[in-house]
Amino acid sequence: MPDTTSKSALLRRPEVLQRCGISNSTLHRLINAGDFPHPIQLSPRAVAWIEEEVSIWIDQRIKASRSQSGTA
Please give the pLDDT value at position 71. Answer: 55
CB of 49 closer than 8 Å to CB of 11: yes
Burial class of residue 52 in the structure, from the number of CB atoms within 10 Å of its CB (0-12 exposed, 13-18 middle, 19+ buried): middle
| pLDDT band (50, 70, 90) for residue 68 | confident
Kindly report the average pLDDT of the chain as a whole number: 91
3-state secondary structure of 72: coil
| pLDDT band (50, 70, 90) for residue 8 | confident
| Helix, strand, coil tally for the chain in percent (to 5) | 50, 15, 35
pLDDT at residue 56 is higher than 70: yes
